[in-house]
Structure formats: C-alpha cells, structure tokens
Structure 1
Amino acid sequence: MLEKLWTMTRFLSDSVQKRFNLRIVFFITLLSFLSTLVYFYFIYNPIPTKPDLCRIWENDPNKSNTSLLWWQWACLIEKEIDKPYPYQCQNVKTVGNWYICWDKPYRPRKPCIVYSFGINFEFSFDDAMAERGCTVYSFDPSMGVTDHKHSSRVYFKNMGIGAKDVDDFIPNFDGYVQLTQRWKMRTLKSIRKMLGHENAVIDVLKIDIEIYEWPVVANFLQDEMFQHVRQFLVEWHIFPNEPNRAEFQQMYKSFTELEKVGMKYFYVDSGSRYHHYRYWNSQSDMCYVNTKFKLPSQ
C-alpha cells in the first residue's frame, strides 16, 4: 500500500514538474518572440524611410492646396525651404555655431545688441558675438541656472521667449526637459521693454527653441517685431509628435509671411528629414537678413 502511494506521489510530482517546465518553455518562447518583434520594429529599422509621402504627393496629378492634411502643409514648408536663396550674401562669416552676413547693409554695428534664445550650456555663438563687440543677452529657462553675467559682454537670463507672458509655463518632455519644470516666459515685445530696448536695434535675433519657434514667430509677426531686427537666425523643427497637427496650416502661413516683411534667407542647413506615416521629422537651420530693416524712431 505504501509502495503504491509512493508511486502515485512520484507520478503526480513528475506531472506537476512537467507542466511547470512546459510553462517555463512557453514563457521563454513568448519572450523571445516579443523581443524579436521589438528588435525588428524599433532597432533593426528604427526610422522608416519609405514610402516618402512628400514625394508621392509631389507626383500626384490631382494635387491641390485646398483642404490639405497636416503632413501636406509640412511638405509645402520644406518646399519653401528648398527654394534658391532669395538673398546672396557676399560675406558670410562663421560665428560660433551659426552664420552671420557681413554685407554692409546688414552687418552688426557697434554698439550692437544680440538676443540669443536657446542655449543648453552652449555659448559659442554668444561668446563669438561678444568678441566682435556686441552686448549679448542669452536666454534659456531649461538650464536651471539663475540670472548671471556669463562674461564681460554676455548676460544670461533664466527666462524663455514665448507667444504670451506667463510665469508658470510647463514645457513638454524632450531631450532637454526630463523633469517637470515651470518656466517664466515673455514675448519679445515684453523683453525689449524689460531691457530698455524699445527704441533700439536688435542686430541679431537667434532662436533655437525646439518646436516653440512656430508660435513665437507668429507672435513676432503679429507684434511687428522684425522691422528693427537686422538678422534673424532660427532652427525650424517638426518632430514625430509635435507640433500639434492642427497648427500646420498656421505654421505654413507664418513661414511664408517672413519674406513679405523683408526677411530673406542667405543660408540653409536641412537634415533629419523623414516623411513616413509612422515617423515624421524635419529640421532646418536658416539665417535671414532683413531687407526692409528700418531704424526705430527715437
């Protein structure tokens, strides 16, 4: 009797062990399958490049500019960027990590003023402009650094440029913002008033502010801020999930409005372009001179 009981116990134990082993094998197989999917979807081919929606749409015989989708407005923006330079600068100088046109009508004049928005601890442009005798105001609320004098001619402000004045702006998470922050933001009109520059020439206005340039430039146009700016440097961004898709028509309008107010670019550096339904990205550095520049009335 005891022997039969022992045999039955061993049989049950072996059955439980086999079922347990099968579960382990099933779990490992499932994990391997999911790992393979993740590898091929995100790692082996992290950025899909085909089909290129802009190229497909460009060759569409029924293409029109009415009732466009957000990505079609993005294609039109890139088409504008890729046009021949409307201004041919004869004396382009590398200044830090940007380019300045030193042609006589547009070159900075001492005592020159430079506004630089978006630093991320990279002051090469700001320092280089200071070495050329300009007073530079550097702005970046993402660094977590208080207002200070960076060097003899460079003044840092813990503040951002915005489309409206707010004290508790909450930015999106990205490569520069990985914790919840609250920023002080001011329009260019308010910043000029704060610094006593309402009747001053801004020789160079530079913004590299990670997708926020679109509403900010729209605000510049609305407030007529470009008329007393000699040169404008900007990095345009379109990220896979930003800006909001509903804003692209207004983005195109603001972009094309720049030339109407006299801003003509003399340098472009575009890259990271991907036009896929699953991954859309586009970035361009552009440098403009103001062909309708005028001195402020004193």
Structure 2
Amino acid sequence: MSVISRHPAYSFFVFVVLGLTFYLLGPYQPSAVPYTTGRAWPAHDLPGRLERSEHIYQKLLKDRQGLIKKWGPTVKDIQLFPPNVSPWPAYTVWDFFPAAYNCPHEIQRLGALGDGGKWVCGLSRVEHKPDCIVYSFGINYESSFEAEILANTQECQIWGYDFSVKSFGPQISSTQASRTHFKPYGLAGKDSHGPEDEHKMYTLESLMKLNGHTHIDILKIDIERWEFETLTALLKPYLASGRPLPFGQLQLEVHIWNMNFEEYLAWWEMLEAAGLRPFWTEPNLVYQNYNVGGSTDLAEYSFLNIKGSNAFIKDASSHHHD
C-alpha cells in the first residue's frame, strides 16, 4: 500500500507545502501590477520598468511647478539658498531637482567613499560589452572611480582628460593601464587648441571624432563649473535635430556658483528635454565641510539617458548606437 493511500491527509499537507514553496521560490511573473490611477504596469521587463520610472518622473515635474508657485510664485522669485528669515522658507535649490528617476538595474558607488567616487546604474550591462567606452573629464590625480570600472569590466576602455595633471592617478594598476588613454586636454563648448592657447580645449564631439568613437557608455564630468557652457553647446544640436545624445549615462558634479534660480532651471530643463534623468544625487559634503561659511552649492548627480538605444535601456540583442 502506498504512503498516499495510508496517510492521505499527511500527503495532501506535503503537496500543499511543496507547491507553496515552489511558487515562492520560482520566478514571480504576473502580467501586470497595479499602479496609480488604476493603470496596470508591466512588472519586470526592462521597457516596463523604464515606462514606470518615467511616469514617476513626470509627477516630479508637476511637483516642481507646485513648489515654485508656493515659494515664488514665479521662477524669478525663487532664491537658491533663502536666508533664515520669518516665515522660514523650507527649501534649497536642490529640493527642486531630486533624483526621482529609478535606475532599472543595480546601483553601485564606484571609487573612493570620500570625494572622487561616483554612483553608476547597471555596470553589469557593460561588464562583458566588447565595445565599452568610458570618458572621464577632470582627473585631478584621483582615479579610484576609473580603477573600479576597469576592475569590474572585461573590455571597457577609458579615455581621461585633464590639463591640470599629466596622467591618471595612482589608483590605476599597471595591469589596468593598457585599457586607459590619457591626454592633457580640457572639455569646453568650442575647440581652442592653437599655438597661442595655454591649454588645448575640445568639445566632446571633437574628441569623439579624434578617437573614432560614435558612442560613450559612461561619461564622467567634473570640470569646475565649465559643465554649463560645455553641456549647453553639446546638447543644442541634438535637441534641434531630435537625435539622441551619444552617451548612455552621465556622472556630473554641478557647481552652482554665481547663478540664479531662473538660469539654473532653464539649463536643467534642457538636460531633461535631451533625455537625461537623474537617478542619484548627493551634496558634496567634503567641499561644504572645508568651505568657509559651509556653502552647499556643489552636488553630485548621476543621469541615465532614456533616449536612443544605449546599453542601459536596451537589451544587448536589440541596442545599437544612433
């Protein structure tokens, strides 16, 4: 006589437990999950996650307008860092620009835990990518970020630029050096590299042409406020033509010196129009700690480019470089 026939109740209990275990441990793939306004959203596929993230980000844009109206009521009335007066304005400029976009992959900090490290979305997406390309502007002889990219990928090649130093920092080992390329050039809104120029300056597009590149997977920029001129010049032709930007994600330190809120908002909205979405931010507390007066006008941002077909928004079988 079988165990099932001798102990039917016990057997039924075992089957229930096993079935529940397989269900919980197996891949959870409902066709859709409920979200706001009763809409059904894809649960796990990459296009669905990106769509949901953009929906969340669009809500942030509405919230930003509400915050401007509350404390303005116009952009001309908003101060970057309002004084401590009554009634106390409970905001700073950074509250209008939170990193509200959700990276659809793992997020990890690469590089030093102090100044120098950057947050990256989905490094695993380029871990084995044969044509992985990284550009890094602003080396300052500290290359822990670049060293960790090299350590965690198989094929990534890194191009570094900084006219204030002569090489990458010592964090890059001799075994990693074969995948690095350094030039003492600066990044700017226009080319300036004649014999009379103290430093050779290039636009991003000019450097990409010199290197024979049509895409960049990860772009790091830390160039002491030149990011405003540089990115404005870079983005304008892409916005005019409707072409996607030639990089997958951007790690950027923002230096909001000598600006007003209206100027900064216009520049930031240009980034958004070009398809850049911030997925991580943190104030530069090292700078704040050592700066007289405790200024908070530097912040680190990481952006994902949601337009085009880069490695972070398209699966390997479908992405190509526009």
Provide the TM-score with structure 2 as the length reference: 0.57
Give the letter aligned to residue 223 of structure 2: I
Q: Deviations over 1:30-81 (max 9, x none)?
A: xxxxxxxxxxxxxxxxxxxxxxxxxxxx8997722254577479x8852332
* 8 A Cα contact 2:192 2:200, kept in partner: yes
Larger radius of gyration: 1
1:249 positional shift: 3.6
> 1:111/1:103 Cα in 2 relative to 1: closer, same or farther (>3 Å)?
closer
Question: Are 1:233 and 2:251 matched, yes or no?
Answer: yes
- 2:135 equivalent among 110, 115, 121: 115
Distance 2:253 2:195 in 1: 21
Match of 1:284 in 2: 299
Match of 2:274 in 1: 261
In terms of fraction of residues, the more strand-rich structure is 1
* 8 A Cα contact 2:68 2:74, kept in partner: no
Distance 2:81 2:270 in 1: 18
- 2:202 equivalent among 162, 186, 191: 186
- 2:223 equivalent among 199, 209, 215: 209
1:290 positional shift: 1.1
- 2:225 aligns to what SS in structure 1? coil
Distance 1:105 1:129 in 2: 12
- 1:158 equivalent among 184, 188, 200: 184
Question: Are 1:64 and 2:73 matched, yes or no?
Answer: yes
- 1:99 equivalent among 119, 126, 137: 119
Match of 2:42 in 1: none
> Which structure would you say has the larger RCO, counting Cα contacts within 8 Å and 6 or more residues apart?
1
1:102 positional shift: 1.1
Distance 1:250 1:167 in 2: 29
* 8 A Cα contact 1:121 1:143, kept in partner: yes
* Superposition RMSD in Å: 3.7
Percent identity between matched residues is 25
Give the letter aligned to residue 266 of structure 1: F
Give the letter aligned to residue 72 of structure 2: K
1:167 positional shift: 2.7
Match of 1:7 in 2: none
Name structure 1 gaps, 5 residues minimum.
1-57, 171-180
Name structure 2 gaps, 5 residues minimum.
1-66, 83-90, 112-116, 169-173, 310-319
* 8 A Cα contact 2:135 2:218, kept in partner: yes
Aligned length: 216
Match of 1:48 in 2: none
- 1:166 aligns to what SS in structure 2? coil
Distance 2:121 2:127 in 1: 6
Distance 1:250 1:163 in 2: 17
